[in-house]
Chain A
């Protein structure tokens, strides 16, 4: 089974500054035949269900602010919030959907305001 590991577990960033979250998979999630990385990112605020932010590692879901971007390929991925806003305080998860089930999530990264 593919294991997803995020780093750091938490980070504190000043408002307006950049936040960077890393996600590493135990095996490649790049499907060679279509050159797509089977990796999604979610945001979860307290008391709410997760919200899809990004799929195919870098495709922003409709309605997601442009300050959120995803990058990476193979086994190493990054979610970047270019200019942190107060409403971005949340826990962020990566998820692979490359393999047959089970589909794994990272352990989560908590983003706070410094």
Chain B
């Protein structure tokens, strides 16, 4: 069964950092395009970052220079290192796979999400 399980969220002060993890099962992370998508409280979906199978990475302007996406092939796990956090980063963070499995980048499946709260 294809599954994604996020972890690592929590409460952090502004300026702090967190590292989110997304453990995959049923497929190989390194062979797929993998994204992070977030959802602020009561708001819509915002794409955050992607890592391609060739290792290329892209970021939303809102997180560029502060967030870093990576993966550990041996652990079949995706990561999101979040530095210099601001209140506006408060959201549920989902990891998701490219549903086409061939680079067309609709998202399927999604993990259950992990809550990140940035507050003093």
Contact = CB atoms under 8 A, between A and B. Distances in A.
Interface residues of A, number: 23
Given A55-B99, A101-B47, A49 B113 contact: yes
Nearest to B100: A55
Contact size range, B: 20 to 34
A55 B105 CA distance: 10
Contacts of B50: 101
Contacts of B112: 48-49
Contacts of A77: none
Interface string B99-120: 1100011111111110000000
Contacts, number: 59
Interface in A26-75: 38, 40, 42, 44, 48-52, 55, 61
Which 4 pairs across A and B sit closest by C-beta, in order of nearness?
A: A40-B106, A101-B58, A49-B110, A52-B108
Interface of A: 38, 40, 42, 44, 48-52, 55, 61, 93, 95, 97, 100-108
12 contacts: A38-B104, A49-B94, A93-B45, A97-B104, A100-B58, A101-B50, A101-B59, A102-B60, A102-B61, A105-B44, A107-B44, A108-B44
